[in-house]
Amino acid sequence: MERFYGKDIIIEPRCPFCNSVIQRPDISMENEEFPIGRCECGAIYCCDITGHNLGSAMLELLSYNFKGEMDKIYEVESGKDYEDSILKNYDPLTHKIIPGGVFQGRRIGGALYFLKFRGIDDDKRGTFSITPQEAQKSLSKQEVEGFVRTFNIRPILKRAGIQKDILRKLKRLLYSGDELMLYRVSDTIGRVCAIISKRDEKSIISFLKGMISSVVDSAASSWGAIYTIGEIIRYEPNKFGPYIRYLYALLRDKRLVSDIMKELARISEVAPELFKEYAQNFIPLLRSNDPVIRGNTVIFLGNVGLKIAKDEIDGLLSDNAEFDVYRDGQMVRFRISQLAVEALKHL
C-alpha cells in the first residue's frame, strides 16, 4: 500500500523474501541499537537507524540467530547458508519506507537488514529450545564440570538465560591447573556471557570487572581470569571491546604477557578493527625469547593486517619453534614459520 502526502510517498515495509507486510522491529527482543523482528516466512530483520552500520546489523542478526555462539557465526556463508536483503530509506518513527529520503522535513536514512536461512540443521543453527521439564531442572556443579570437560557445552548454553547460578558454577572451574580445561571453561563463559548480555548487560559488566580486579589484586591466581576476560570480549566485541584497555595495561607485568597475547590473538580473529590504533606497539614482541609470545604476536599482527610488520614477520619464516594454540575446544600445535606464512598473506 502506498500513500501520498504532497510530494512524499510512503510505502508499507514488506519482507523482500515473501512480500508480506512486516511488523515494527521489537526493541525488547534484543537492544535499542538494533531492534529485531521476525517475518512469518522465517526471515529475521533488524533496524539500522543510521543506515551506515549495516555490517554491525548483520552481525547482530547472526548473533541473535545463533544465540551468541560466535564460532557458528563464522561457519555460515552468504549465498550458501543464508540470503540477505536491505530495505533502504526506512523511517523507524513511522515504520514506513520513504523512497524520497525526506519526510515532513526530516531526512530519512534508516535501513532494514534481512536474513533468511536455508535449511541449516539444528546443530549449526544453534537452537536452544527448552522443554518445560528442562526449565525446571538446574544443572549441578558436577554436570557443568562434566559438560565442560568433554566440551559438550550445548546443555550449558541452553541454560544460560535461565539458570542464574550458571556463571558461578563455571567460575569455580577456573581454578583447574589443566590449561586445556581452563580454555574450555573460559570459552564457555564467554559464550554464556554473550547470551546473558542480550538481556542483562549490566550483570556481565559487573562479572567482567570482577575478573579484571582478580588479576590486578593477585596476578598469581589470574591465569584463568586473563583467558576469561579475553573470551568475554571475543564473543561480544561490540559491547565489551573497550575493556581491552585493561589487558593493555596488564602487559606491564611480564608474567602475564604470554596469556594476554593468546587472548589478543583470538580477539583479533573476530574484531581486528579494535586494534588498529595500537597494533604497531606489539612489533617488538616478535623478538621475544618465548615462542608462545612470538607466535601469538604473529597471529595477532596478521589478523590486524599491520603492513609495517611485514619485514619482521618475514624474518620468522625460518623459525621452527612450536607451540600450542587453542582452537574449537582443542589444543593444536603450530610451527611459528607456518603462522608467519599465513600472516604474510594478509600484509
Mean pLDDT lowest among 72-76, 87-91, 319-323, 330-334:
72-76
Helix axes 291-304, 336-344, angle to 10 degrees: 10
3-state secondary structure 123-166: HHHCCCCCCHHHHCCCCCHHHHHHHHHCCCCHHHHHHCCCCCCH
pLDDT band for position 34 (50/70/90)?
A: confident
Collapse the DSSP code of 114 into the 3-class scheme (helix H, G, I; strand E, B; otherwise coil) and give the result.
strand
Q: How far apart are CA 24 and CA 38, in angstroms?
A: 9
What average pLDDT does the segment 153-181 reach? 86
Q: How far apart are CA 304 and CA 263, in angstroms?
A: 14
What average pLDDT does the segment 106-131 reach? 66
User: Which DSSP helix (H) or strand (E) runs through 158?
Assistant: helix 154-159
Q: How far apart are CA 47 and CA 24, in angstroms?
A: 9
On the question of pLDDT at 306 being above 90, the answer is yes
Who contacts 314 (Cβ-Cβ below 8 Å, separation ≥6)?
Answer: 340, 344
Q: How far is CA 247 from the centre of its chain?
A: 18
CA atoms within 13 A on the CB side of 67: 19
User: Quick one: CA torsion of 332, 337, 339, 341, rounded to 10 degrees?
Assistant: -140
In the prediction, which pLDDT does 81 show?
Answer: 81
What average pLDDT does the segment 175-185 reach? 87
Cβ(216)–Cβ(226) below 8 Å: no
Cell digits for 320? 621452527
On the question of pLDDT at 51 being above 70, the answer is yes
For 203-224, how does the pLDDT look when each residue is reduced to its tens digit (9 = 90+)? 999 999 999 988 887 654 566 8
Q: How far apart are CA 152 and CA 73, in angstroms?
A: 18
- Nearest CA to 199 out of 55, 73, 26, 51 is that of 26
What average pLDDT does the segment 181-209 reach? 91
Q: How far apart are the first and last CA of the chain?
A: 51
In the prediction, which pLDDT does 321 show?
Answer: 97
